[in-house]
Amino acid sequence: MSKRSLSPAPLPPSKRLHSLTGSERLPALTFDNLYEELTLLIFAHLSWVDLCTAQAVNKNWARLSLDNGLWRNQYLNVFNRTRLRGAKGFIGRTDGREIKRLPGRATVSESQELKDWRSMFRISWNWKKGRSFILSVYDLSSDTIAHTQTLTTYTTFPPSSLTLSVQTPGTRYKLILTYAAPIFPAHFSIGVTELIISGSHASSASSAPGGSMSVVSTRTARALDVPAGWVDQEKLRSMKEQWGRKVLRIQDTQTDGKWVVLAPGEAPLTASGTGSALTSPYQSSGDSLASLQLYRLFLPPATSVASPPPKLTFIRYLHHTAGAVSSMALADGRCVTLGKNGGIWVWDLESGTGAEVAPPSRSPVDLVEKGTVVFDDRRIITARGGTLLVHRFDI
């Protein structure tokens, strides 16, 4: 029985020659057949900017440039610390259901603890350069304004808006933060985070009144999210509908704690002077400037671990003729928008009905000036280009 013939492909170069005379056939020396140890040694002398640039050369360099040891040295050289700013190690569960510890033979010492140094570098760089949300909490209960806490996110995607409401006067408050949530590769949707702010005396009866206020819990919901568990046809259809509502840019987003409104923004202009959305292969159906997206925010009480999670549900589109939105205000189930062309629209979010308060302006100055709008039960006030207008309208 004959043996199988060997493959004609040449063998990879050996790290050490196994003969005194050497191999008769030596491959050409290129970056692709360098030893990985030598490539990593070269990468160790690069800055973090050059290390990121090396990822675009080829797949092999992209893999080697993600080496955890390289980014550990970069992190220590740039930030001169071994942990994230404000990180205090592992945070245990607060519901009383602690996870059983691993046996002693399986525990990992602190020196061997695995960290994603590249992610830590990216987070710390965003914090350093201001490309992140910074939320500061101030206590106004006394005669002096006291700064009590600062929260920082990993990154930021504007625009955003804040809504503060009272749960228990003087002791407990609820803050709703709405923001743009990124969707791969080049789109955005809406996200909402609930932050519960409470004083130290709210959880301790023996504490003195007027304890410092701080965030005690957070919950997050997104308009585009993958459901847990098996994905059936109903969930798949819902995911496709959510994907169809993504936008290339968000101009503004507002909430009153119950309703969330998203206003799509104009696509950036290309070199030819036309919007990139007209030729983009990622064009989506939610990019129409003549429609707003209305969502209903469900925040069930977090009384136990079995409590349902927060949910952000799409309700309807709000169609208007004000064109691209310049500013938007929302309160008590009412929404008022100021278009870049000067048009003003008002909606009743419960019924979805809308009315035009002011037609678009014919002045070319109004088309470039950014405006601001506020309203109450009887008046809508707009500020635009140094002009303040008051519209009396029964909202």
Give the tens place of pLDDT for each residue, 285-312. Answer: 455 777 899 999 999 887 777 778 889 9
> At a CB cut-off of 8 Å and minimum separation 6, what does 25 contact?
10
Q: How far apart are CA 233 and CA 240, in angstroms?
A: 11
Domains of the chain with CATH codes: 30-84+115-129 (1.20.1280.50), 322-395 (2.40.10)
Q: Which two tokens stand for residue 249?
A: 């840019």
Residue 53: pLDDT over 80: yes
Q: Looking at residue 276, what is its pLDDT? A: 43
Band of residue 314 on the pLDDT scale cut at 50, 70, 90: very high
Instruction: Give 223: exposed, middle or buried? Use CB within 10 Å, 0-12, 13-18, 19+.
Output: buried
CB-CB contact of 323 with 289 (8 Å): yes
Q: How far apart are CA 236 and CA 123, in angstroms?
A: 33
- What's the alpha-carbon Rg for the chain, to the nearest Å? 28
Give the tens place of pLDDT for each residue, 72-128. Answer: 999 999 888 887 765 554 445 555 555 666 666 665 555 555 788 888 888 888 777
Number of Cα atoms under 13 Å in the Cβ half of residue 36:
8
Percentage of the chain exceeding pLDDT 70: 74
DSSP string, 131-184: -S-EEEEEE-SSSS-EEEEEEE-S---S-EEEEEEEEETTTEEEEEEEEEEEET
Residue 272: pLDDT over 60: no
Q: How far apart are CA 124 and CA 82, in angstroms?
A: 11
Q: Looking at residue 367, what is its pLDDT? A: 59
Q: Which two tokens stand for residue 182?
A: 């990124």
Number of Cα atoms under 13 Å in the Cβ half of residue 133:
17
Q: Looking at residue 109, what is its pLDDT? A: 57
